[in-house]
């Protein structure tokens, strides 16, 4: 089974499975197809993380292909004469971090796959050449990012239809991307990191004021890591270690929630939402204080995910009002933060699992497209902190902290769930809600994903408003306001809260249950 954020991409993965590929082959095939079908959310111009469960070895591993800051990056790089230039982090050459996706996919394929790069990218090539109908999701995002695309990609770009956003139903083709993929199929990933594509990347970034060098690209490599492990009731979660912060914070949140009678309170009841949001405020304070690139700093991971620490946080939370003070952190009040990124899950017939989250950061990334290559460059430098003293400030070759959290869940040693989501800082709060929906409230995977979500965080010690989907009951909102919360109501199915994809593996059954998110164009296929 394959679940991904576009039907064509999910089907590309399924085709690979049917052709005898394993879960890793299928995941990479899906990833290439997502670059063609959902180019605004991921692709070879970005990076990500992959959690792989190998059923024969009963082993879980993580491939970290997160982007890196260029070697000339420095903590004050987004300031000029003391003034922070927000635009430089988002839609400028300085916003681009060294892409890791292709290196990561290639690494995973060589070590754990059975097919070669040319095989797995074939369907991606076909989709880019043949084109497909633009969905309302694609069109809306295209419109949202129009200004950035006009400025950085130009009116003639493939990513606009004769200079205007695509409308639903129009055909989107990307022949430049197809040509790029064909080049990679014959010349290998070195063409991207050391060859002509590398030169085009550096040139495009330089024109837009960036500092990436050919050496930065040539020296990029992904990293295989030991997964982070946590428990929730009789479930074991495997997810990303730092610089992925999402998995760590899911474990933290679940540890805190375990202290409360949430089933008694009820799903999405005022008491549940209040306690959950208060917990989020403490967790975000920890995120700001402790998280960075573990290649360069020490992170107290064991302390952060300990049940004891969680119990201490739970005891600080008042049942009927805001705590009022949360340990101060450096998490920016980033009003530009969006629900971006993409996630896919694959389970093959032997029970191997891949949970992959990847991104070019903001939708349409930096808006910069290297000449005639067809792919968008990321703006993941925006995931570094603006505070030059922060552990997560931009520094040479550092990976920025990520909220991504692909995960695999086991029960009694057997995999029962794989899950992940895009959504920026809403990733781990949303995934925690989905896990609780399944484990505590008995929902199916699809129900757990579709049910209304909420989000909150703290900034400099103060709680921010709770964002909720408008489907939550009016009286719930009033109760929360009575407790002292400010509530922001968003769309009924708002992609601000992510676009989760998941596969459930019920015990004792030869059956996979897929769940895809209506907030994006999520789709599941199996056989």
Partner 1 sequence: MKKIFLIASLFLLIFNLQGFSQGAKEYVFEEPLLISSAGQSAEVQIASVLAKRAGLSYTLEKIATIKDLENVKTLVLVLGTSMKGLGAAGLDMAKEKGRVKNLLKEAEKKNIPLLCLHLGGETRRGKLTDEMIRDFLPSAKAAIVVKSGNKDGIFSQICEENNIPLIEVEKTVQALKSFKKAFKHKIENHKSN
CB count within 10 Å of CB 203 equals 12
Query: In terms of DSSP bridges, do strands 501-504 and 487-490 run parallel, antiparallel, or are they unpaired?
Result: unpaired
Instruction: Find the part of the chain contacting partner 1 (CB under 8 A) among 20-28, 144-152, 287-295, 315-323.
Output: 144-152
Size of the site for partner 1 (CB under 8 A): 22
Q: How far apart are CA 49 and CA 223, in angstroms?
A: 10
Is the CB of 167 or the CB of 196 nearer to partner 1? Answer: 167
**Nearest distance from C-beta of residue 86 to partner 1, angstroms:** 9
- Show Cβ contacts of residue 521 under 8 Å, excluding neighbours closer than 6 positions: 5, 6, 7, 38, 135, 137, 138
CA R_g for the chain: 21
Contact 148, 91 (CB under 8 A): yes
Query: In terms of DSSP bridges, do strands 487-490 and 407-411 run parallel, antiparallel, or are they unpaired?
Result: unpaired
Instruction: Find the part of the chain contacting partner 1 (CB under 8 A) among 135-143, 201-209, 245-253, 451-459.
Output: 135-143
- Show Cβ contacts of residue 173 under 8 Å, excluding neighbours closer than 6 positions: 128, 129, 130, 131, 158
For 234, list phi and psi in degrees, rounded to 5.
-100, 30
Identify whether 236 is a catalytic site residue: no
Is the CB of 216 or the CB of 383 nearer to partner 1? Answer: 383
**Nearest distance from C-beta of residue 188 to partner 1, angstroms:** 39
**Nearest distance from C-beta of residue 146 to partner 1, angstroms:** 5
The strand pairing partners of 503, in sequence order, are: 418, 514
- Residue in 80, 147, 295, 320 binding partner 1, rule: CB under 8 A: 147
Binding residues for partner 1 restricted to 154-213, rule: CB under 8 A: 155, 161-165, 167-168
**Nearest distance from C-beta of residue 472 to partner 1, angstroms:** 15
Name the catalytic one among 61, 135, 341, 425.
341
Query: In terms of DSSP bridges, do strands 487-490 and 466-469 run parallel, antiparallel, or are they unpaired?
Result: parallel
Instruction: Decide: is 85 part of the binding site for partner 1 (CB under 8 A).
Output: no
Q: Provide the 8-state DSSP code for 239.
A: E
What x/- string results for residues 450 through 489 when contact with partner 1 is judged by CB under 8 A?
----------------------------------------
Instruction: Find the part of the chain contacting partner 1 (CB under 8 A) among 15-23, 267-275, 331-339, 346-354.
Output: 331-339
Residues in the chain: 527
Contact 66, 399 (CB under 8 A): yes
- Residue in 38, 67, 145, 521 binding partner 1, rule: CB under 8 A: 145
Instruction: Decide: is 420 part of the binding site for partner 1 (CB under 8 A).
Output: no
Instruction: Find the part of the chain contacting partner 1 (CB under 8 A) among 244-252, 333-341, 351-359, 400-408.
Output: 333-341
Bond from prior residue into 364 cis (ω within 30 degrees of 0):
no
**Nearest distance from C-beta of residue 66 to partner 1, angstroms:** 25
- Residue in 30, 35, 119, 139 binding partner 1, rule: CB under 8 A: 139
Q: At which residue do the structure tokens 């199916």 appear?
A: 444
Binding residues for partner 1 restricted to 213-232, rule: CB under 8 A: none
Closest CA to 426 of 513, 520, 309: 520
What x/- string results for residues 486 through 505 when contact with partner 1 is judged by CB under 8 A?
----xx--------------
Number of H helices, E strands in the chain: 19, 22
Closest CA to 466 of 275, 257, 251, 261: 275
**Nearest distance from C-beta of residue 140 to partner 1, angstroms:** 5
**Within 13 Å and on the Cβ side, how many CA atoms surround 310?**
24
Instruction: Decide: is 143 part of the binding site for partner 1 (CB under 8 A).
Output: yes
- Residue in 54, 118, 140, 301 binding partner 1, rule: CB under 8 A: 140
Does residue 455 sit in helix, strand or coil?
Answer: strand
Contact 501, 516 (CB under 8 A): yes
Instruction: Find the part of the chain contacting partner 1 (CB under 8 A) among 138-146, 277-285, 304-312, 424-432.
Output: 138-146
**Nearest distance from C-beta of residue 438 to partner 1, angstroms:** 30
- Residue in 171, 226, 311, 336 binding partner 1, rule: CB under 8 A: 336
**Nearest distance from C-beta of residue 368 to partner 1, angstroms:** 18
Contact set with partner 1 (CB under 8 A): 136, 139-140, 143-147, 150, 155, 161-165, 167-168, 335-336, 338, 490-491
Catalytic residues: 341
């Amino acid at each position: 089974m394959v679940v991904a954020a576009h039907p064509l991409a999910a089907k590309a993965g399924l085709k690979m499975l049917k052709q005898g590929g394993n879960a890793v082959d299928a995941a990479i095939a899906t990833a290439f197809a997502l670059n063609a079908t959902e180019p605004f959310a991921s692709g070879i111009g970005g990076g990500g993380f992959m959690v792989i469960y190998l059923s024969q070895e009963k082993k879980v591993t993580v491939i970290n292909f997160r982007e890196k800051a260029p070697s000339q990056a420095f903590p004050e790089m987004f300031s000029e004469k003391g003034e922070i230039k927000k635009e430089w982090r988002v839609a400028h050459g300085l916003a681009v971090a060294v892409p890791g996706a292709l290196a990561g996919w290639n690494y995973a394929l060589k070590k754990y796959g059975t097919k070669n790069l040319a095989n797995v990218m074939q369907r991606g090539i076909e989709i880019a050449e043949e084109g497909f109908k633009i969905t309302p999701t694609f069109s809306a995002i295209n419109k949202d990012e129009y200004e950035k695309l006009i400025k950085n990609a130009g009116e003639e770009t493939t990513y606009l239809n004769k200079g205007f956003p695509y409308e639903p139903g129009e055909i989107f083709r990307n022949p430049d991307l197809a040509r790029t993929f064909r080049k990679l199929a014959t010349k290998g990933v070195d063409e991207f990191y050391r060859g002509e594509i590398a030169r085009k990347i550096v040139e495009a970034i330089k024109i837009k004021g960036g500092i990436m060098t050919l050496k930065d690209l040539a020296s990029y490599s992904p990293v295989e890591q030991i997964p982070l492990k946590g428990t929730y009731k009789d479930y074991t979660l495997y997810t990303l270690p730092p610089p992925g912060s999402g998995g760590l914070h899911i474990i933290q949140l679940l540890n805190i929630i375990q202290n409360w009678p949430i089933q008694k309170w009820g799903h999405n009841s005022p008491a549940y939402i209040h306690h959950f949001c208060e917990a989020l405020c403490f967790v975000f304070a920890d995120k700001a204080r402790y998280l960075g690139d573990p290649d360069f700093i020490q992170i107290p991971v064991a302390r952060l995910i300990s049940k004891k620490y969680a119990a201490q946080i739970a005891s600080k939370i008042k049942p009927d009002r805001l705590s009022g003070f949360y340990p101060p952190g450096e998490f920016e009040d980033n009003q530009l933060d969006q629900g971006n990124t993409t996630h896919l899950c694959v389970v093959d017939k032997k029970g191997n699992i891949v949970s992959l989250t990847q991104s070019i950061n903001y939708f349409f990334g930096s808006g910069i497209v290297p000449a005639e290559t067809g792919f968008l460059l990321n703006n993941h430098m925006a995931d570094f902190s603006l505070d030059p003293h922060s552990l997560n400030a931009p520094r040479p070759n550092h990976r920025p902290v990520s909220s991504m959290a692909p995960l695999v869940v086991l029960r009694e040693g057997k995999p029962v769930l794989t899950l992940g989501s895009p959504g920026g800082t809403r990733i781990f709060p949303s995934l925690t809600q989905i896990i609780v929906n399944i484990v505590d409230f008995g929902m199916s995977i699809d129900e757990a994903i579709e049910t209304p979500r909420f989000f909150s965080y703290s900034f400099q010690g103060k709680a921010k408003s709770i964002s909720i989907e408008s489907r939550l009951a009016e009286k719930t909102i009033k109760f929360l306001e009575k407790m002292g919360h400010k509530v922001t109501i968003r769309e009924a199915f708002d992609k601000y809260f992510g676009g989760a994809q998941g596969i459930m593996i019920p015990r004792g059954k030869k059956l996979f249950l897929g769940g895809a998110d209506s907030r994006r164009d999520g789709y599941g296929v199996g056989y």
